[in-house]
């Protein structure tokens, strides 16, 4: 399992947590890019955006659109949209009931490793799941978090001038049917799951969001401030 130990003597940075609730995907993308530019300025502050989106399929910079298994017309019929962005990874789905986290953080010198960045994100997700009684696991060479072979969280990030964009999506209680219209993360026959499905009871989205923010801050050596 990946670890997340901070080097001794490294000061924690402030992390401004913003819980936005449901927001249009393109609107959130514009806000990420705005915050990215601000973070590059002197005095910039790390930010963690916690959101959920209306139904949308997103494609990364190198994603193969053939992993969307239905027509554009069908996507419209089910009330979804398609959007491209600059993250890594293949096609994924975002929708109501899913916690999406976008950390716009500056990676300090000791943090400047893409592999370590992904591993730390996985640790934050694992700790969040454990707080709710779910034993997650990671798979070497396949980013994300799994429960008994079913994927519960996906990760896709981009780093520009050592400031992070995009992030992770944790299935709290989304409509899993929407995943059947794609090859999630480019994998055929990938089984998806959610916290609600694994626990067999409702899970509060806001409780998960706050839990993740705490664990993310701890893993990344930040001090979180909440609105």
Catalytically annotated residues: 185
Q: Taking the CB of residue 12, how many other CB atoms lie within 10 A of it? A: 13
Q: Label residue 66 exposed, middle or buried (CB < 10 Å: 0-12, 13-18, 19+).
A: exposed
Output the CA torsion 207→107→122→185 (10° steps).
100
Token digits for 157? Answer: 């990030």
CA distance 183 to 185: 6
Can you tell me whether residue 226 is helix, strand or coil? coil
Distances (CA, A) of 205 to 25, 31, 96, 97: 18, 22, 10, 7
Q: Label residue 122 exposed, middle or buried (CB < 10 Å: 0-12, 13-18, 19+).
A: buried
Q: Are 123 and 2 in contact (CB under 8 A)?
A: yes
């Amino acid at each position: 399992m990946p670890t997340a130990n901070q080097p001794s003597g490294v000061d924690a940075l402030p992390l401004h947590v913003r819980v936005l609730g449901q927001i249009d995907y393109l609107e959130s993308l514009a806000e990420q890019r705005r915050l990215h530019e601000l973070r590059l300025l002197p005095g910039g502050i790390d930010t963690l955006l916690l959101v959920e989106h209306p139904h949308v399929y997103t494609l990364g910079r190198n994603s193969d659109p053939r992993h969307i298994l239905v027509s554009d017309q069908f996507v419209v019929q089910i009330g979804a949209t398609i959007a491209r962005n600059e993250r890594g990874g293949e096609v994924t789905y975002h929708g109501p009931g899913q916690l999406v986290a976008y950390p716009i953080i500056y990676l300090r010198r000791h943090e400047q490793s893409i592999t370590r960045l992904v591993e730390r994100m996985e640790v934050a997700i694992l700790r969040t799941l454990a707080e709710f009684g779910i034993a997650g696991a990671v798979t070497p060479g396949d980013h994300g978090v799994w429960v008994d072979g079913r994927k519960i969280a996906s990760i896709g990030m981009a780093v520009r001038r050592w400031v992070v964009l995009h992030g992770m999506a944790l299935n709290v209680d989304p409509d899993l049917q929407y995943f059947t219209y794609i090859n999630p993360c480019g994998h055929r026959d990938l089984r998806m799951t959610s916290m609600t499905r694994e626990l067999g009871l409702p899970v509060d989205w806001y409780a998960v969001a706050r839990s993740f923010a705490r664990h993310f801050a701890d893993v990344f050596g930040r001090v979180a401030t909440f609105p």
